[in-house]
Amino acid sequence: MSTATLTPTPTGSAPAKAPADEGRIGLRGNLRHISALARRNLLQIKKDPESMFDVLLMPIVFTLLFVYVFGGSVGGSMGGGRQEYLNYLVPGLMAMMGMNIASAVGTGVNDDFRKGVMDRFRTMPIARSSVLIAKIVVELGRMLVATFILLCMGFALGMELGTSVLGLLAAIALSATFSAAIMWIFILLGLTMKTAQAVQGTGFLVLMPLQFGSSIFAPPQTMPGWLQTFTDYNPLSNLADAVRGLMMGGPVADSVWMTLGWVVVITAVTAPLAVAKFRRKT
């Protein structure tokens, strides 16, 4: 009588082979995975409502701070007063909101790896990009909440919309698109840095020069020549000018196309790097 030899399948290596089927996941499957993961992230916010404090308070604090501290002097240099500066500032703050909220994605990804959550996701037969895209979807929702509060504050203080509701919606959509691209940079930082504190520190060093060396808070014409050159190539200046034109009127084509160009370049470079880093990170 012959004896059949059974070769046991090693259980430890089975999950590692799951990513090989990732390419077979269709669009519907990817959307289902993104939806489920986004719901998981939303439930985390529900359990920790304090994580929404930055979204709820930042637009109010920044609007009141800059309008009433700098509005008189900067608005006066623009030939007006606080009212004119308010109309100038709020569209710029819309551009800034996305950058500040985007930095939270990097710390969140880093924290999930520290807790072992991402290791669990990588053993599941889901597209690796869906884990990161779900993070972006939820943060975009947070950004839209912050934008809504910012606009409410602006209109409550007397901001006047110079174009139309369609122009306002286009400005919000452009800000959200740019914010989504920036989030890939912070996701890559979160996957590269060892701690969430390092991600926050690096993000702060990146955000401060970009925000204050731009046309968000003041017209570049009042800046030194070398700083004006920096603002000309600063993507936040392009976004702020585009949003300002869409909301208040004026030429927008060049600024919009420059912003969209930055979106394409940033996403094309950082998104593949972030997904590849996510696959390899231990």
* 3-state helix/strand/coil string of 51-64: HHHHHHHHHHHHHH
**Domain ranges for the chain:** 27-280
Above 60 in pLDDT, residue 18?
no
Q: Residue 272: its pLDDT value, please?
A: 92
Return the pLDDT at 145: 93
- Using the predicted structure, report yes or no on whether residue 41 has a pLDDT greater than 90: no
Q: How far apart, in whole angstroms, are the C-alpha atoms of residue 148 and residue 143?
A: 9
Q: How confident is the model at residue 119 (pLDDT cuts 50, 70, 90)?
A: low
Q: List, for residues 253-268, the tens digit of each pLDDT value.
A: 899 999 999 999 999 9
Q: Report the alpha-carbon distance of residue 150 to residue 62 in Å, rounded.
A: 9
* pLDDT tier for residue 6 given thresholds of 50, 70 and 90: very low
Q: Are 202 and 209 in contact (CB under 8 A)?
A: no
The residue behind tokens 């669009």 is: 27
Helix (H) or strand (E) holding 269: helix 253-280
What share of the chain has pLDDT > 70, as a percent?
Answer: 88
Judged against a pLDDT cut of 50, whether residue 5 lies above it is answered with no
Residue for token pair 């807790």: 115
- pLDDT at residue 204 above 70? yes
Q: What is the pLDDT of residues 144-200, one digit of tens each?
A: 999 999 999 999 999 989 899 999 999 999 999 999 999 999 999 988 888 888 888
Residue 21 has pLDDT above 70, yes or no: no
Report helix, strand and coil shares of the chain as percent, to nearest 5. 80, 0, 20
pLDDT at residue number 55: 86
Q: d(Cα 213, Cα 224) in Å, to the nearest integer?
A: 11
